[in-house]
Amino acid sequence: MSIHDDDHATLDLVLGQAHHLLGEDGDVHAQRLVQAAVLRVQRDGGYFHPMPNDNWTDATYEAVLCVDPNLVQEFTPEITGRIWAKLEPVLRGRDRIDVFGVVVEANVPPRPDVGEDWRARATQAAVEVPPSNQARRERAHGRHPERDGLTLASRAEGVVYDALVELQRSCSRHRTFAIAPLPGVKLRDAGVRTPDFLVLGNGRAVVIEVDGVHHYGATRKADDADRDRHWTRCDVPTVRIGAHHTNEPEALRELLAEELRRLLWRS
């Protein structure tokens, strides 16, 4: 049965079938991105001849994956190509031979409903919101990625968070762990620090830091080493992940799984 352009329920089932096919190939990263998307189809401005040697032409379409703005950059040409390789045959099986490619678009958030008294409401809300030690600097500046209502400092930290959540879901209840991104922590001789992640499990803790290129200067290296020493005094090890590792999510998950097994469940 052919799918109408506004048949949102069937288009969602089509996306679910593509998600399943990606899983059969073990493409977990593409699966995760597809799961976070909404599928629709739209005219792409072109025409094609459904029947060869026929003068009749028909409109051409493109599949559109609508995603959170923070995820758009994760849809690289390679990953989008892998998704299209599974999505195209599913669409053709539904008689949508007029869809010739896939594009990724950021969701446009709805315009907020505000009244003429929005300034007074904003002032009142600022007074009423309780203080939070989670990502206090990032929350103050805004425009940072979020996951599950938790603020993260960068796209790379978002990838690490997603990998930790996948590991958390896959582990048994007896070997589960908690994930605390950007907690405010008071150390004895180092004041207040905000590690990228504090992971808790088996009565132990591990600090995970995601190091971008700015961490490789001599001054920053010395500061990082000083931070690590303070955590070591608390008998809490630090795992440093280079931001470049977030470009390979599967390898990143394996690295994190190995480190958590070694440090949280060490004998």
Collect all residues with Cβ–Cβ distance below 8 Å to 177 and sequence separation of at least 6.
Answer: 168, 171, 199, 200, 201, 202, 260, 264
What is residue 137's predicted lDDT score, i.e. its pLDDT? 66
For 250, the enclosing helix (H) or strand (E) is: helix 249-264
What is residue 169's predicted lDDT score, i.e. its pLDDT? 93
Q: Which residues in the chain land under pLDDT 70?
A: 1, 52-56, 125-132, 137-142, 190, 213-224, 267
How big is the CA angle at 152 (ends 148 and 156), to the nearest 5 degrees?
110
Which DSSP letter does residue 56 get? -
Whole-number Å distance between alpha carbons of 15 and 222 = 48
What is residue 126's predicted lDDT score, i.e. its pLDDT? 62
What is residue 203's predicted lDDT score, i.e. its pLDDT? 94
Model confidence pLDDT, tens digit, residues 131-165: 567 777 666 666 788 899 898 988 999 999 999 99
- The 3-class secondary structure across 198-220, one letter per residue, is EEEECCEEEEEEEECHHHHCHHH
What is residue 141's predicted lDDT score, i.e. its pLDDT? 64
216-248 burial: b if 16+ Cβ within 10 Å, else e: eeeeeeeebeebbebbeeeebbbbebebebbee
The CATH number fitting domain 8-106, selected from 3.30.300, 3.90.550, 3.40.50, 3.30.530: 3.30.300
Neighbours of 251 (CB within 10 A): 12
- The DSSP line for 255-267 is HHHHHHHHHHS--
Domain assignments of the chain as residue spans, ordered by start: 8-106, 136-264
What is residue 225's predicted lDDT score, i.e. its pLDDT? 77
- Distance of CA 170 to CAs 31, 88, 165, 175, 180, Å? 15, 30, 9, 10, 18
What is residue 215's predicted lDDT score, i.e. its pLDDT? 43
What is residue 114's predicted lDDT score, i.e. its pLDDT? 82
Token pair recorded at residue 218? 């001599």
Q: Which residue has the tokens 């905000």?
A: 194
Q: Give me the CATH code for the 136-264 domain, please.
A: 3.40.1350
What is residue 113's predicted lDDT score, i.e. its pLDDT? 80
What is residue 120's predicted lDDT score, i.e. its pLDDT? 83
